[in-house]
Amino acid sequence: MEQLFSTVRTDLALEAREMLTKQVREDIPGVLVETSEDEDLIINRVNISTPEAERMMGKAQGSYITIEAPGLRYKNTPLQQKIMNILATELAAMVNLPRNATVLIVGLGNWNVTPDALGPRAAHKIVVTRHLQELLSPELKGGVRSVCAIAPGVLGITGMETAEIIQGIVGNIKPDLVVAIDALAAASSHRVITTIQLANTGIHPGSGVGNKRFGLTEATLGVPVVALGVPTVVHASTIAMDTINTLQEHAAFGRYFKSMANLSDQDRQTIVRQVLPEMLGDLMVTPKEVDRLIEDIAAVVAGGINQAMHPNIDYDNIHMYLH
């Protein structure tokens, strides 16, 4: 069954479930979904609780929370602030961190590839405090956790797997939690830059826009790992596959077909390969203003993490504490 959407790649548990339920036309055992929304946003909680559900979904067991706000596409300070607050609340609830915990934020991805640069850019906006713990005034202690951050770069830049670097650092620094920020691929273009996914599963091999073969998980690092991702691209092959699906699914087009329902997987692949010759995996669909959008969403992501980690900082007057 996995092969059914073999060229529709998504890193969002929400989308994996959408595709799967469309396919099997029923709920998936072991996958729980909760949704809440207001006029600005939808929050989805997907819980994968059995090995069978993990296999069907192609996503590790655990909790996935997506915050989806179409307005993030536009410069909108109040909405950005609102999403930051929600992200901070959800992240704090997910990790339940003691006040004196040390946290390592890891910005995954390649800073030279704009849609893959979310992790490094967000990591550089983190308020790092681990080196300042002795300088903090007593009233800040407890509201300013010990946070450190690094964007290690990707395999092609360092010659080292990200996991090798992070394992080394975690072994030396011994944080209580790792938060890994990463750019993701979505199946639907309208989720690009508008959706933030939090997962308590860590990062598993093969996820994300870049190639991060080794995982960053509690199993490999020895500490809990939260994965915080934002889809920044849709694979071009997804657009092609989606077009075929649209043709097939809409009754309105039925008159053209004899039997599209049984269009074989192999034929789908043939069509996509025809449309996107040679470079199937390399073509990415992004909004034209991706450079600005990545900058804006990196600020939202970093802002949410900062608030979750340091609830007592008055961010308007951050200079008064730190200088």
Instruction: Tell me which residues in 26-55 interact with a second copy (CB under 8 A).
Output: none
Cβ distance to a second copy smaller for residue 193 or 199: 193
The first and second tokens of residue 116, run together, are: 């893959």
**Contacts (CB under 8 A) with a second copy, residues 146-165:** 146-153, 155-161, 164-165
Cβ distance to a second copy smaller for residue 33 or 244: 244
Max Cα distance, the chain (Å): 75
For 240-246, the CB contacts below 8 A with 24+ separation are 240/7, 240/271, 240/272, 240/275, 240/276, 241/5, 241/7, 241/8, 241/268, 241/272, 242/8, 242/187, 244/268, 244/271
Burial class (CB in 10 A: 0-12, 13-18, 19+), 121: buried
C-beta of residue 104 within 8 angstroms of C-beta of residue 175: yes
Burial class (CB in 10 A: 0-12, 13-18, 19+), 47: middle
Q: Binder to a second copy among 76, 85, 220, 269 (CB under 8 A)?
A: 76
Cβ distance to a second copy smaller for residue 25 or 258: 258
Listed in sequence order, the DSSP H helices in 174-235 are 218-221
Q: How far is the CB of 50 from a second copy (least distance, A)?
A: 33
Q: Binder to a second copy among 189, 200, 220, 269 (CB under 8 A)?
A: 189
Q: How far is the CB of 46 from a second copy (least distance, A)?
A: 23
Cβ distance to a second copy smaller for residue 272 or 297: 272
Cβ distance to a second copy smaller for residue 55 or 75: 75
How far is CA 287 from each of CA 194, 234, 290, rounded to the nearest angstrom? 11, 10, 5
Instruction: Count interface residues toward a second copy (CB under 8 A).
Output: 89
Q: How far is the CB of 122 from a second copy (least distance, A)?
A: 13
Quick one: angle between helices 290-309 and 77-95, nearest 10?
A: 50
Q: How far is the CB of 142 from a second copy (least distance, A)?
A: 18
Question: What's the one-letter identity of residue 99?
Answer: R
**Contacts (CB under 8 A) with a second copy, residues 239-298:** 239-240, 242-244, 246-247, 250, 252-253, 255-260, 263, 267, 270-272, 274-279, 282-292
Listing from the earlier edge strand, what are the strands of the sheet with 31-37? 31-37, 42-48, 62-68, 195-199, 225-235, 177-186, 102-107, 146-150
CA–CA distance, 291 with 115 (Å, rounded to integer): 8
Cβ distance to a second copy smaller for residue 35 or 133: 133
Query: Which SS3 state, helix, strand or coil, does residue 40 take?
Result: coil
Binding of a second copy at residue 136 (CB under 8 A)?
A: no
Cβ distance to a second copy smaller for residue 142 or 171: 171
Cβ distance to a second copy smaller for residue 49 or 283: 283
Binding mask 192-221 for a second copy (x = CB under 8 A): -----------------x------------
Q: Binder to a second copy among 180, 236, 298, 309 (CB under 8 A)?
A: 236
**Contacts (CB under 8 A) with a second copy, residues 91-130:** 112-116, 124, 128-130
Q: If residue 248 lies in a helix (H) or strand (E), which one and from where to where?
A: helix 236-249
Q: How far is the CB of 243 from a second copy (least distance, A)?
A: 4
Q: Binder to a second copy among 167, 200, 220, 269 (CB under 8 A)?
A: 167
Q: How far is the CB of 136 from a second copy (least distance, A)?
A: 13
CA–CA distance, 34 with 13 (Å, rounded to integer): 13
